[in-house]
A and B are shown apart, each in its own frame.
Chain A
């Protein structure tokens, strides 16, 4: 589903991402772990075609991000952490519909999908209200619906629970697990070890732009012990 092949990204002389390779299969959640500035967001931005790789490429659902960026974008959904990034003066439905339209969905398709997501995320009460006065949790649900409205096969989560309270974090985590159940390939970037341990099948640790570990969670525990945090600090500190 996702095949990252020798991706590199330089910002002037700084190597933000340095020749990374990993794969993500259908129904698999891969945790991209790293400290701030390690290259997680740059990697996700390259996979999402927002940034052009300096070298290397990635195949998303069989489409090369350099050759067919439009096809790649139609196959990915992305959810960012921090601010939900919604248009406050539009209603929740208009926010979701805008992204459905920009992803080339026809009227029937988008209406059906929006109705399904509204039901699934329990948003019936406020879907036709402007999002400006929504709570953080309500906004997060709209952002989730927006990211998945076009039925992407691949989901990218860039620190999606950053700054969220426990309830809102739970909504996001449940959504990630529901994506797994729908057999989507998922990349989940975070620096919360607990979250990674709870959600991921496999972890890829990235440090100073390079992958320093890539293994299944169970194998990781076997190799480094049960304490994820200690293992991570040990690994990153050694390099």
Chain B
């Protein structure tokens, strides 16, 4: 293996890949802009919808004796009471979000200190109707509490008798932004592993099967650069491209979360320290190296670009299984055994970093195992590159 030849191959491959509009667009630009667009649109539309619904709740009230509750609801600024001849039908058709049927004798029941039954008609398949139902229920709850309060007061009893225990919540997390970090610990490992896997794919396809398809591989094999120098030069450029793709995806994701507003927690601070980002970056790089080597091995086996893409797609599913497997695991009570499992260990270590846990044993195990995976993946790539039946498979 010749370092000079490796660097020549690396430099050429990187230039070649960065000049390929398709690779740059698919691998770097799309991940960078797709999340801001997607999250931004979804976030703004959901936020807009929530605002629109909660600011103008269209309801219908069927109350024959003009109850005080109906008056209370009508007095709310965000409620518009509309007339309806058939409440059920109007709710189904979305003309009103919610219908309320207040019984005739409600005022008497309240006066007699009895319970009254109110019927809320809503459509559980409609987001707006569900939201309106919750708002109306909380308003009725508020009204109900007022009644209880006045009943107790008339009997000379303090209202606080109903709340013998008050709960005061205090967050034990070391830093601020605990919820934001929790959300990130769910989302980020999954995304990073998927991008670590898919990031090098386009480059690996181009540098293996693409080289075969273009007829450039054979002339390359007749140069003085040995096969291993060619392989390592290619692996290096695939890793760099994969890393660039992953970084752009993550930047896109972060911008997307911010652009999506409160719907995706974008109003919360991200609170990841530079050290955390670097530590996460190192482990993502390891994943990229493992998958880059595997993808290049598979790609060099394929006869054509198309064939390589077909062979490479199952790899994504395997990777996703590893990432999803740890999705709901709470890293504060995680078993050390799990740090022996490929992909799961990287997912868990990233979760730990986000939460602020730096366990030397877990870091050592994950790092060590991933070095082993890289070694095995490179060994496999080396085997494939030295096999005549693979290189000249046509």
Q: Contact residues of A with B, CB < 8 Å?
A: 11, 45, 48-52, 70, 73-74, 76-78, 80, 82-90, 94, 98-99, 101-104, 130, 143, 146-147
Query: Is the CB of B12 closer than 8 A to any CB of chain A?
Result: yes
With the chains together, A50 CA to B20 CA distance in Å? 29
Q: Please, which residue of chain B has its CB at the minimum distance from the CB of A132?
A: B19
Say whether A85 contacts B214, CB under 8 Å: yes
Which residues of the other chain, B, contact A49 by a CB distance below 8 angstroms? 222
Q: Please, which residue of chain B has its CB at the minimum distance from the CB of A49?
A: B222
- Given contacts A83-B215, A85-B214, whether A76 and B222 have CB atoms under 8 Å apart is yes
With the chains together, A102 CA to B223 CA distance in Å? 6
9 closest Cβ pairs, A-B complex = A85-B215, A102-B223, A83-B215, A89-B19, A102-B225, A85-B216, A101-B8, A48-B222, A78-B222
Say whether A102 contacts B216, CB under 8 Å: no
In angstroms, how far is the closest chain A Cβ from the Cβ of B11?
9
Say whether B221 contacts A50, CB under 8 Å: yes
Say whether A73 contacts B12, CB under 8 Å: no
Query: Is the CB of B65 closer than 8 A to any CB of chain A?
Result: no
The 19 listed contacts between A and B (C-beta, < 8 Å) are A48-B221, A50-B218, A50-B221, A51-B392, A52-B388, A70-B224, A70-B226, A73-B222, A73-B224, A85-B217, A87-B214, A88-B214, A89-B15, A90-B16, A98-B12, A102-B220, A102-B223, A104-B224, A147-B219
Query: Is the CB of B139 closer than 8 A to any CB of chain A?
Result: no
With the chains together, A102 CA to B9 CA distance in Å? 8
Known: A50-B218, A50-B221. 11 other contacts (CB 8 A): A49-B222, A70-B226, A80-B215, A82-B215, A84-B215, A87-B216, A90-B15, A99-B219, A102-B9, A103-B223, A130-B19
Q: Please, which residue of chain B has its CB at the minimum distance from the CB of A47?
A: B222
With the chains together, A146 CA to B218 CA distance in Å? 13
Q: Please, which residue of chain B has its CB at the minimum distance from the CB of A81?
A: B215
Say whether B224 contacts A102, CB under 8 Å: yes
Q: Please, which residue of chain B has its CB at the minimum distance from the CB of A70?
A: B224
Query: Is the CB of B184 closer than 8 A to any CB of chain A?
Result: no
Q: Please, which residue of chain A has its CB at the minimum distance from the CB of B18?
A: A89
Say whether B219 contacts A85, CB under 8 Å: yes
Query: Is the CB of B5 closer than 8 A to any CB of chain A?
Result: yes
Q: Contact residues of B with A, CB < 8 Å?
A: 5, 8-9, 12, 15-16, 19-20, 214-226, 388-389, 391-392
Which residues of the other chain, A, contact B223 by a CB distance below 8 angstroms? 73, 99, 102-103
Which residues of the other chain, B, contact A50 by a CB distance below 8 angstroms? 218, 221-222, 391-392
Which residues of the other chain, A, contact B216 by a CB distance below 8 angstroms? 85-87
Which residues of the other chain, A, contact B9 by a CB distance below 8 angstroms? 102
Say whether A80 contacts B224, CB under 8 Å: no
Say whether B224 contacts A51, CB under 8 Å: no
Say whether A74 contacts B222, CB under 8 Å: no
With the chains together, A45 CA to B391 CA distance in Å? 12
With the chains together, A86 CA to B220 CA distance in Å? 10
In angstroms, how far is the closest chain A Cβ from the Cβ of B36?
29
Which residues of the other chain, B, contact A90 by a CB distance below 8 angstroms? 12, 15-16, 19
Q: Which of B16, B221, B225, B392 contacts A87 (CB under 8 A)? A: B16
Which residues of the other chain, B, contact A11 by a CB distance below 8 angstroms? 389
In angstroms, how far is the closest chain A Cβ from the Cβ of B58?
59
With the chains together, A84 CA to B219 CA distance in Å? 10
Which residues of the other chain, A, contact B19 by a CB distance below 8 angstroms? 89-90, 130
In angstroms, how far is the closest chain A Cβ from the Cβ of B254?
31
Say whether A102 contacts B16, CB under 8 Å: no
In angstroms, how far is the closest chain B Cβ from the Cβ of A11?
8
In angstroms, how far is the closest chain B Cβ from the Cβ of A127?
17
With the chains together, A70 CA to B229 CA distance in Å? 13
In angstroms, how far is the closest chain B Cβ from the Cβ of A149?
10
Which residues of the other chain, A, contact B389 by a CB distance below 8 angstroms? 11
In angstroms, how far is the closest chain A Cβ from the Cβ of B44?
39
Q: Which of B8, B214, B215 contacts A98 (CB under 8 A)? A: B8
Which residues of the other chain, B, contact A48 by a CB distance below 8 angstroms? 221-222
In angstroms, how far is the closest chain B Cβ from the Cβ of A155?
11
Which residues of the other chain, A, contact B220 by a CB distance below 8 angstroms? 102
Which residues of the other chain, A, contact B5 by a CB distance below 8 angstroms? 102
Which residues of the other chain, A, contact B225 by a CB distance below 8 angstroms? 102
Which residues of the other chain, B, contact A99 by a CB distance below 8 angstroms? 219, 223
Q: Which of B218, B220, B222 has the most CB of A within 10 A?
A: B222
